[in-house]
Amino acid sequence: MSNLSAHKLELPMILLSAVLAVSCGGIAPTSLVKTKTRKHISDPLEPINRATWELNRGLTLGVLEPATNVYLTVIPEPVRKSISSLHDNLTGPLRITNQILQGRWNDSGEESLRFLTNTTVGIGGLFDVADRMNLPGSRGSFNQTFQHWGWQPDTFVVLPFLGPSDNVAATARAMDVVGDPITYVSNLEFALIASRVHQLSDIIPPVASIMRTESDSYELIRQAWPYLSRPTSPDWTPHGTPDFPTMETLAAARYKPNDPWFAASGKRHLVRLPHTGKELPYQAWMQKQPAPLVFLSPGIGSHRMSGNAMVLAEAIFNMGFSVATISGIFHPEFMECASSSSMPGNPVTDRTDLLATFTAINDSVVNKHPGHVTKHILVGFSLGGFSALQLAATKTAHAPGSVQFDHYLAIQPPVDLRQAYRTLDEFYAVPTSWSEAVRAQRLDNALHKAAALIDQRPPEGLPPFSADESQLLVGFAFRTVMRDTLYSIHRRTPSDLISTPASTWRRQDTYHELMNFGFDDYLKYWLVPQQQEKGVSEKQLLNSTSLRSMQRSLSANRHVHVMSNRNDFLISLKDMRWMESTFGNRAVWLPTGGHLGNLGDPQFLKVLGSLMENMH
């Protein structure tokens, strides 16, 4: 996987999802589906590429990730920093050569000065003295050079053991090896090995995270690759004022657990679910002493080890609680193992499946750690918060033997699912407001900016997205979740709505069709007909997608608390008033954060801590 830099792979997942979404299919079911951006990099080798990706995935998760963890544990950070500086300096001549081949004389001069400074004063490059002297560095590779000369990549390739590439980048990588002076200098074997190990230690953690948590990590990287590998810079000029709620939502990806080892410290368990007969993975972090157990229910398509889930799990664990996480209701892992229905989206069925799942997990935890669970607390965020409130409202009707929750906390839940997801679909259709003359260019540039943020700081250090661009990216991320949901459904029960079969190894055409279905389309063409066959009317289904009918029971349950943001775009002013009327002082409001954009913010964690303190 080493031909993708670690910085590139730390691209926030929501931005990567946006990049893949536009390349996958239409912007909307009608007018924008034919919009073309930059020349497409095709994937005629998709079956072979996917098989190679799975090989690399097994190697990464089974061998390289554990080895990297050992390296990061054993080698002190100052030593790792020196190894990184050494590698950067040793490859300086290669960068200089490519800058000259591209006619970048100023860059080559600055890079030469930087190389000489670090080689002499920095003791061969062990110390980055040039950086302290404000001597700038810049990139230079044969991939840049070839594209500067006019070579255009047109075929995506996954290389065994090396990862994503294309017909130009693969050739350029071979030239990088041939042109690297380290290859020909004797007595540098140790430096070469050390630098390669260090490169892997930077790359493997984010790669492993993508491979572990994304429904289709191959497709994510395949569609992001043309933007990540593009040698030129985007146009940073803003095209309007920013929209801070969606900007805050995009920025949420910067939050990570404070302890880099927290995610790995949790234990992965499998629990057999009586209501489906299948095994579901869950993640658990147990306190050494008896403590309350928090069941953490994530958003619509979140994986149990996604960034938001890990930030909250760590915070709650550090408050003295044991924590168990599962994947979201619309995530294929939950759908295919824990859902009693072939389609998610009926809140009545979904909450019943959630309760049965939490009950089975509780039995599993109690059997593994007898006497260690003192209370049961349900914490959900986004759609998980909506489901937590539904379970709180229907507590008296729970099946006998179900786990009994002592407290409920809903973090930034929507009140009306249809209204919330319509908002996200409207974000997805933002380019329809752009004139046809500039639509393709603006769309391409917005996605290029999202990818370029990984390698370079934009002007003034602020993500330079206008309101329509940040809304577009948030909408893309949601539509990608819907695509993965529909693919799972179509793969298990082929739908007449889709003309292409759901092939495991060749998915492009299927994905292209699925990207044209918004949430209302899903309800109308997929879920409502399926529910009607089960005797659930359309009116009953649609009524269940709102919390308003549960106001009386929610208001009466004093063990229910809510945390929300005033500028959350998934709730309306009417929703806010309803929540204030229903929960009173049990609803805590923060002024900003968009939707899930402040989960790692100190003020949010302070408020969360005060609420959780009363649940011990």
Q: What is the DSSP string of 515-526?
A: TT--HHHIIIII
Mean pLDDT of the chain: 87
| Position 388 confidence tier, pLDDT thresholds 50, 70, 90 | very high
| Position 419 confidence tier, pLDDT thresholds 50, 70, 90 | very high
Of 350, 361, 342, 347, the closest CA to residue 280 belongs to 361
| Position 22 confidence tier, pLDDT thresholds 50, 70, 90 | very low
- Mean predicted confidence (pLDDT) in 40-49: 91
Cα–Cα distance, 465 to 246 (Å, whole number): 10
Q: Are 595 and 569 in contact (CB under 8 A)?
A: yes
Q: Which residues contact 576 (CB under 8 A, 6 or more apart)?
A: 564, 566
∠ CA 82-88-94, rounded to 5°:
155
Residue 181 has pLDDT above 70, yes or no: no
Structural domain contains residue 171: no
Structural domain contains residue 196: no
Write the single-letter amino acid at 316: I
Give the ranges where 399-466 is alpha helix by DSSP (H): 417-428, 436-452
Of 438, 436, 446, the closest CA to residue 475 belongs to 446
Q: Are 375 and 403 in contact (CB under 8 A)?
A: no
Q: Tokens representing 303?
A: 């994986």
Cα–Cα distance, 549 to 544 (Å, whole number): 8
Structural domain contains residue 302: yes
Of 604, 614, 608, 615, the closest CA to residue 565 belongs to 604
Cα–Cα distance, 344 to 330 (Å, whole number): 6
Structural domain contains residue 591: yes
Give the ranges where 429-550 is alpha helix by DSSP (H): 436-452, 467-492, 508-514, 519-521, 528-533, 538-544
Residue 12 has pLDDT above 70, yes or no: no
Structural domain contains residue 575: yes
Q: What is the pLDDT at residue 136?
A: 76
Q: What is the pLDDT at residue 34?
A: 40
Residue 36 has pLDDT above 60, yes or no: no
CA 574 to chain centre: 30
Tens-digit pLDDT profile for residues 432-452:
999 989 998 888 888 888 877
Q: Are 1 and 221 in contact (CB under 8 A)?
A: no
Strand ranges in 397-515 using DSSP code E only, listed in sequence order: 407-411
Looking at mean pLDDT, say which of 64-73, 238-247, 458-467, 529-538 comes out highest. Answer: 529-538
Structural domain contains residue 297: yes
Q: What is the pLDDT at residue 11?
A: 42
- Mean predicted confidence (pLDDT) in 444-466: 70
Residue 26 has pLDDT above 70, yes or no: no
Residue 403 has pLDDT above 50, yes or no: yes
Q: What is the pLDDT at residue 182?
A: 65
Structural domain contains residue 371: yes
Q: Are 507 and 219 in contact (CB under 8 A)?
A: yes
Residue 2 has pLDDT above 80, yes or no: no
Q: What is the CATH number of the domain that holds 287?
A: 3.40.50.1820
- Mean predicted confidence (pLDDT) in 188-208: 73
Structural domain contains residue 149: no
Q: What is the pLDDT at residue 613?
A: 93
Q: Are 265 and 283 in contact (CB under 8 A)?
A: no
Cα–Cα distance, 117 to 119 (Å, whole number): 6
Number of domains in the chain: 1
Tens-digit pLDDT profile for residues 47-79:
999 999 999 999 999 988 888 888 888 888 888
- Mean predicted confidence (pLDDT) in 564-591: 97
Phi-psi bin for 473: left (phi > 0), alpha (psi -120 to 50), beta?
A: alpha
Cα–Cα distance, 589 to 273 (Å, whole number): 37
Q: What is the pLDDT at residue 233?
A: 79
**Would you mind telling me the total number of residues written for the chain in this entry?**
616
In Å, what is the CA distance from 135 to each residue of 99, 107, 108, 116, 130? 16, 11, 12, 11, 5
| Position 101 confidence tier, pLDDT thresholds 50, 70, 90 | very high
Q: What is the pLDDT at residue 364?
A: 97
Of 211, 335, 208, the closest CA to residue 280 belongs to 335
Tell me the pTM: 0.89
> What's the domain range around 293?
257-415+541-613
Give bridge partners of residue 156 from the DSSP assignment.
166
